[in-house]
Chains A and B, each alone.
Chain A
Amino acid sequence: MRILMLRVIAILVTFIGLYMLSQFVTYQMDPYYFQVLIECGVYIILAVSLNLINGITGQFSIGHAGFFAVGAYVGAAWTMIWQPMVVERYSFLQMGTLHGDILNLLIALILGMTSAGMAGFVVGLPSLRLRGDYLAIATLGFAEVIYVLLLNINSVGGARGLNGIPTLISSGNLALFWVFLFVIISIVLSRNIMQSVRGLTWLSVREDEIAADAMGVDTTKVKVTAFVIGSALAGAAGVLYAHFLTGISPDIFSMNTSILITTMVVLGGSGSVTGSVIAAIVLIVLPEVLRFLKNDRMVIYSVLLIVMMLTRPQGIFGTKEIGFPKWRRKQPKTEGRSA
C-alpha cells in the first residue's frame, strides 16, 4: 500500500514537474536551444532503447534509424494523411484544442510504436540465426531499405519528406513534456527490467548464450522481446521528433543516424543506461558547441571520439550505473571484497 502511494505521488510529481518545465522553458528559451533540447530528448530515447537490444541482450543491431523512421513516418502519416480523411466522420478527432491534440498525439504514438515494434519483430526474428557481424549487416540493411523506400514513396513526399506536420501542442506548449515523459519511461523501463531476476536472464544472453540456454533461458524469446520493445521506443522517438520539429525527410534517417545512435551506446558503455543517456547528450550537444570551428568541427569531433575509444574502450561508464540502488543483502559482509 505504501509503495503504491509513493508511486502515485512520484508519478504526479513527475507530471507536474514536466509540465512546469515545459511551460517555463518554452516561453523563456531561444528557439534554437529549444530545438537542441528536443533533439537531446529524442536521442536519449533512441540510445536507451538501442541499449536494450545491444547493451543488455548483446545483439549487435546497428540499424536503429530504421525503426526511428517507421515511427516518424507512420505517426506523421496519421496527422497529415489519415486523420484528415476520417475527421469529418469523427469530429472528436479535431485538432486545435488541448484534448484534441493530446488525443491525436496519442493515436500517432500508438500507431508509430506499434508499426516500429512490428518492424522490430520482423527484423528480430530472422536475425536470431545471425550473429555478430552478420546481424549488424542485416539490421543496417533493413535501415537502408526503409531509407530507399521513403525516398521513393511519393505520398510521403519522396526526398523532400513531409513538412508542416501539425505540432499538436497548440494549447500550451507541451513538446518538452511529451519528449521527456518518454525519456523517463524508457529509462525506468530499462532500469526495472535490469533489476529483476527476469531481467538478469536478458543479461545472461549477452554473457553466454549457450550457458543461458542450458539454464532454461528462452534466448529466442528474450532477443525478440528486446527487439520489439527497443524498436517500439525508437518508434515513439520518431513520432515525437516528427511532430515537435515539424518536418521529416529521409535524410534524417540515413545510415549516419544509425551509426550515431550506435556510437552513443558504445561510447556510453554497452549495457549502461546512464552511459547511453550521457553519451546521447554529449553527442548531440558537442557538434553544436563546436559550431564555431565551422568546417573543422566534424574532424575535431571524430578525433575526440577516437581518443575516447582508445583511452576507454569499455565506454564512459562500462556497465556501471548511477542512481540504481543495488540490491544489497542484509547479511554482514567480510571486508576486502569488491562488488
Chain B
Amino acid sequence: MATQTAEDGGAIRIMSVLEMRDVTKKFGGLAAVSGLNLVVEPGELLGLIGPNGAGKTTVFNLITGVYKPSSGDVLFQGMRVNGLRPCRIASSGICRTFQNIRLFKQLNVLDNVRIAAHLHTKANLLDSILRNNRLMTNDRELTEFSLMILRSLKLEDVSDQRSSDLPYGLQRRLEIARAIATKPRLLLLDEPAAGMNPQEKVELMELVRSVRRDYQLTILLIEHDMRVVMGICERIYVLDYGELIAEGKPEAIRKDPRVLSAYLGE
C-alpha cells in the first residue's frame, strides 16, 4: 500500500489524496470505527462497503469533520484536517452527499446548487448589500456554472422546482450535483443508490463514472449492496463492526472468506 507521503522524502511519490491513520471513533463504549487505516490515491474510484452499522457513514463523518476522531489522524493532501470545522474541510476540497438526503428543501434545484457554488464567490456581503457590478458579474458566473452542472447531471429541466418536490431518484442526483458544485478534489458518496431498483442503480453508477471523468474527481463511494460496487470500483475497502476486514481488487474481495461471512452472517 502506498502509505508514504511527501514528508517521507526519498523517492518522489504522488501524494495521496486522503489518508486515515489508525483512526478510532468511540461513542460511549461502542467503537463505531476502530484502528482504521485507509488511503485514497489521486483519481481513484474507491469503494467502501460493509453491512449495515459497520461504521461506513461514521468514516465519512470523520473525514468531513462532523465528528472528531477519538484517536488517530485524517490527512487530506498531506495536511491534517481532523479538528477543522466541516465548512473549512469543505472549502479545502472535500465534499459529500448524505445517506439520508439532506437537501435545502424549500429552495429550488438551482438554488441548492448555487449555495454550494458560493465557495467560489469573489463578492463579499457588502457587495451583496450594494448589489454592485462585482456582485452582478460574480452571481451571473455562479449561476451559469450551476446550470452547467445541472445540465451535465440531466437536472436542467427541473432547475426551478422545489427540491423537496423532486422524485426520490432525482433528489439523490441533486445531492451529487450540489456536492460537485463546490469543486471538490475528493468526492464522498454515501449510498447514492440506496432505495433504487437494479436498473436505476446501474444508471446511477454510469453517472458516477461520467462525472468522475468530466470533473476529474477522486471518489470514495459507500455502498451497502456489494454487487453494485464490484462493477465500478477499482479497489474496495470492507468494514465490519468498525474494523477493516479486507482491502483489494473486486475479484479478490468477492472471494474473501471474511467478507463472505460478514455479508452472509448479516
Chain A contact residues, CB within 8 Å of chain B: 3, 189, 192-193, 195-201, 203-204, 207-208, 210-220, 225, 319, 327, 329, 331, 333-334, 337-339
- Residue among B64, B107, B110, B142 making CB contact with A214, cutoff 8 Å: B64
Report how far A277 CA is from B168 CA in the complex, Å.
Answer: 37
Most interface-central of A197, A211, A334 (chain B CB within 10 A): A197
Neighbouring A residues of B111 by C-beta, 8 Å: 200, 203
| B125 adjacent to A189 (CB under 8 Å) | no
- Residue among A192, A213, A329 making CB contact with B128, cutoff 8 Å: A192
- How many chain B residues touch A (CB < 8 A): the figure is 50
| A319 adjacent to B106 (CB under 8 Å) | yes
Report how far A196 CA is from B143 CA in the complex, Å.
Answer: 10
Neighbouring A residues of B66 by C-beta, 8 Å: 210, 213-214
Most interface-central of B98, B103, B104 (chain A CB within 10 A): B104
Report how far A337 CA is from B166 CA in the complex, Å.
Answer: 11
Q: Does B192 contact A (CB under 8 A)?
A: no
Known: A196-B131, A338-B161. 4 other contacts (CB 8 A): A197-B114, A200-B107, A208-B105, A212-B104
- Residue among B98, B115, B124 making CB contact with A217, cutoff 8 Å: B115
Q: Does B81 contact A (CB under 8 A)?
A: no
- Residue among B87, B90, B128, B182 making CB contact with A193, cutoff 8 Å: B128
Main SS at interface, chain A: helix
Neighbouring B residues of A337 by C-beta, 8 Å: 157-158, 160-161
Most interface-central of B86, B91, B147 (chain A CB within 10 A): B86
Report how far A217 CA is from B107 CA in the complex, Å.
Answer: 16
Q: Does B70 contact A (CB under 8 A)?
A: no
Considering the complex, give the chain B residue whose CB is closest to the CB of A218. B87
Report how far A170 CA is from B131 CA in the complex, Å.
Answer: 35
Neighbouring B residues of A214 by C-beta, 8 Å: 64, 66, 86-87, 90, 95-96, 98, 102
Report how far A199 CA is from B178 CA in the complex, Å.
Answer: 17
Q: Does B116 contact A (CB under 8 A)?
A: yes
Chain B 130-144 per-residue mask, 1 if CB under 8 angstroms from chain A, else 0: 110101001100110
| A193 adjacent to B133 (CB under 8 Å) | no
Q: Which of B75-90 contact A (CB under 8 A)?
A: 85-87, 90
Considering the complex, give the chain B residue whose CB is closest to the CB of A208. B102
Report how far A199 CA is from B103 CA in the complex, Å.
Answer: 17
Report how far A182 CA is from B91 CA in the complex, Å.
Answer: 36
Most interface-central of A203, A211, A217 (chain B CB within 10 A): A211
- Could you list 26 examples of A-B contacts with CB < 8 Å? A192-B129, A193-B129, A195-B131, A196-B135, A197-B123, A198-B121, A198-B124, A199-B128, A200-B111, A200-B115, A203-B106, A207-B106, A208-B104, A208-B105, A210-B66, A213-B86, A213-B87, A214-B90, A214-B102, A215-B182, A218-B87, A319-B106, A333-B160, A337-B160, A339-B160, A339-B161
Neighbouring A residues of B179 by C-beta, 8 Å: 215
Q: Does B34 contact A (CB under 8 A)?
A: no
Q: Does B118 contact A (CB under 8 A)?
A: yes
| B161 adjacent to A217 (CB under 8 Å) | no
- Residue among A200, A225, A339 making CB contact with B114, cutoff 8 Å: A200
| B128 adjacent to A198 (CB under 8 Å) | yes
B199 to chain A, nearest CB (A): 24
Neighbouring B residues of A329 by C-beta, 8 Å: 110, 147, 159-160
| B90 adjacent to A192 (CB under 8 Å) | no
B155 to chain A, nearest CB (A): 13
A223 to chain B, nearest CB (A): 12
| A211 adjacent to B133 (CB under 8 Å) | no
Neighbouring A residues of B156 by C-beta, 8 Å: 331
